Amino acid sequence: MTCERCHGLMVSERICDPQGMSSDLCVDGYRCLLCGNIVDATILENRRHSTGTIETRTVSDPHMSRLVAA
Ligand SMILES: [Zn+2]
């Protein structure tokens, strides 16, 4: 795993309170050894979900359904 910002080496790490909002929140993520950039599993998961949503919207587009029905 390499850093998106500096392409440095990222190490797997347990990150507690990544956004400073909840003190009990601990997630598994990665931290860049060079610039300190943090990518947590939640961010990666959200990216996967948003990509899937775009694909679903394209398929279920109402204009597409009309074309299929006609
Ligand atoms: Zn970095």
**What are the structural domain ranges in the chain?**
10-60
Are 27 and 40 a contacting pair, CB within 8 Å? yes
Give, in degrees to the nearest 5, the angle at Cα 52 between 30 and 67.
Answer: 165
Q: Which residue has the tokens 């990150």?
A: 15
Centre of ligand 1 from the C-alpha of residue 3, in Å: 5
User: Cα(30) to centroid of ligand 1, in Å?
Assistant: 10
Say how many C-beta atoms besides its own lie within 10 A of residue 10's C-beta.
21
Please tell me the distance from the alpha carbon of residue 46 to that of residue 21, in angstroms, as a whole number: 18
Q: Give the distance (Å) from ligand 1 centre to CA of residue 43.
A: 16
Is pTM beyond 0.75? Reply is: no
Distance (angstroms) between ligand 1 centre and the Cα of 63 equals: 43
User: Could you report the per-residue pLDDT of 2-14, keeping only the tens digit for each?
Assistant: 999 999 999 998 8
- The pLDDT, as a whole number, for residue 47 is 81
pLDDT tens digits, 33-68:
999 998 887 777 788 877 655 555 555 566 655 656
In the numeric block, the tokens 């990544």 are attached to 18
